[in-house]
């Protein structure tokens, strides 16, 4: 991430002049680094994942899905997955997404709730817009592995029927 020094006592104003750093140089700087690096590398991404997964686990709308899940494990696997699609050379050692989510009757609205939390956490962390767009689009593209519900809202009747089917082991 490119951070401008804040003006203050002893600050050298020449930093802002075209001679010191041109727009082209700034753009190159951003374009030549991976999204992973733009987020601050391992430390930056782990901080984002920590906040994101804590919010997901504690969320009033979708937190109940994680009642029996390990917070530490989900953080680690989400870290690996995100690091990889953000451009780091890190292997993903978790279960395939369809396998991990298959027994959870996740609805379209609940899928969108997780995405909304992710967006809020990325904004709060000051993630560059390109990184935010990429990550949200990536997760959106994995939707078919997490839910078969094409809608973006929660239909309480369908949700209840799916929850019943899941309890009875009849979820298709
Ligand atoms: C594209 C969106 C999503 C991605 C990339 C994703 C990613 C992951 C990953 C990497 C894991 C860990 C897998 C493992 O333990 O090996 C996981 C687990 C889990 N996810 Fe997601 N997830 C997504 C959407 C959702 C949504 C929308 C919900 C619920 C609203 C959800 C609920 C869960 C639950 C409950 C687990 C624990 C599974 C278990 O141990 O039974 N996920 N997810």
Domains held by the chain: number: 1
The whole-model pTM stands at: 0.80
Kindly state if the Cβ of 114 falls inside 6 Å of ligand 1.
yes
With respect to residue 7, please indicate whether it lies within any of the assigned structural domains.
no
Q: What is the pLDDT along the chain (172 residues), one digit of tens a residue?
A: 444 434 333 333 333 333 334 444 444 455 689 999 999 999 999 999 999 999 999 999 999 999 999 999 999 999 999 999 999 999 999 999 999 999 999 999 999 999 999 999 999 999 999 999 999 999 999 999 999 887 765 566 666 666 677 667 665 5
pLDDT confidence of residue 162: 66
Residue 75 CA to ligand 1 center (angstroms) comes to 10
Cβ(112) – ligand 1 distance below 6 Å: no
**Residue 36 maps to a domain:** yes
Report if residue 2 sits inside a domain.
no
Interatomic CA distance for residues 162 and 65, integer angstroms: 13
**Residue 55 beta carbon below 6 angstroms from any ligand 1 atom:** no
pLDDT at 50: 98
What pLDDT sits at residue 19?
37
pLDDT for the residue numbered 152 = 65
What's the rounded Cα separation, in Å, for the pair 172 and 156? Answer: 19
CATH of the domain at 130: 1.10.490.10
Identify whether 107 is part of a domain. yes
Contact 95, 135 (CB under 8 A): no
The pLDDT of residue 9 is 37
In the prediction, which pLDDT does 61 show? Answer: 97
Q: Which atom of ligand 1 is nearest to the CA of 70?
A: 40
Domain that holds residue 72: 13-167
Residue 71 CB–ligand 1 contact under 6 Å: no
Residue 99 lies in a domain: yes
């Amino acid at each position: 991430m490119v951070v401008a020094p804040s003006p203050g006592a002893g600050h050298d104003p020449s930093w802002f002049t075209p001679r010191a750093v041109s727009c082209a140089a700034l753009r190159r700087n951003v374009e030549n680094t991976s999204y992973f690096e733009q987020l601050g590398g391992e430390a930056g991404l782990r901080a984002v994942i920590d906040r994101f997964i804590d919010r997901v686990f504690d969320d009033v709308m979708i937190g109940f899905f994680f009642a029996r899940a390990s917070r530490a494990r989900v953080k680690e696997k989400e870290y690996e997955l995100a690091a990889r699609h953000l451009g780091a050379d890190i292997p993903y050692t978790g279960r395939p997404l369809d396998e991990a989510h298959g027994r959870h009757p996740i609805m379209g609205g609940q899928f969108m709730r997780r995405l909304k939390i992710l967006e809020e956490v990325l904004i709060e962390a000051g993630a560059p817009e390109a990184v935010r767009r990429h990550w949200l689009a990536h997760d959106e593209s994995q939707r078919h592995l997490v839910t078969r519900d094409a809608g973006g809202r929660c239909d309480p009747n369908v949700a209840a029927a799916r929850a019943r089917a899941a309890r009875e082991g009849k979820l298709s």
